[in-house]
Amino acid sequence: MYLLSASICGLRRLLDICEAYVGRHGLTYNVKTSGKWETPMGKRLNKVPPVFLNGTQLKRVYQFKYLGHMLTPDLKDNADIERERRALSIWVNMLARRFARCSKNVKITLFRAFCTNFYHLQPVGRV
């Protein structure tokens, strides 16, 4: 679950509502695995009051993964592109190692099958 607020005060109110809800239903939040918060987009504030959930101070982060994409305060894709580049490098190295003795056409077919994303355009021409 992600809570979004334009201010620390608003975030605290949302957390109070969540704490009241889970208290009424006999549930608890696992603050160790999910307790993180980020400053407003585009701002790196140093003097921000702490935010608490169930009496535990939440860890402050400057980027997080949401729906498969890295979100950062500057709203740039650099972190997300770097993560995808590293994943592609891992797949290419794995294919090169496992299928080193295969023909060039087999390698191209494997590359297209394993390393091209279905949501993007297919590569044009030969690899």
pLDDT of residue 36: 66
Nearest CA among 99, 95, 100, 63 for reference residue 82: 63
The answer to whether 31 and 56 are in contact (CB under 8 A) is: yes
Nearest CA among 59, 53, 60, 69 for reference residue 14: 53
The answer to whether 6 and 40 are in contact (CB under 8 A) is: yes
Q: What is the pLDDT along the chain (127 residues), one digit of tens a residue?
A: 777 777 788 888 998 998 899 889 998 888 777 666 665 555 555 677 888 888 888 887 777 777 877 777 777 888 888 888 888 888 888 888 898 998 989 988 888 887 776 555 444 454 4
pLDDT of residue 44: 57
> Would you kindly state where each structural domain of the chain is located, as residue ranges?
8-71, 78-115
* pTM of the model as a whole: 0.54
pLDDT of residue 67: 81
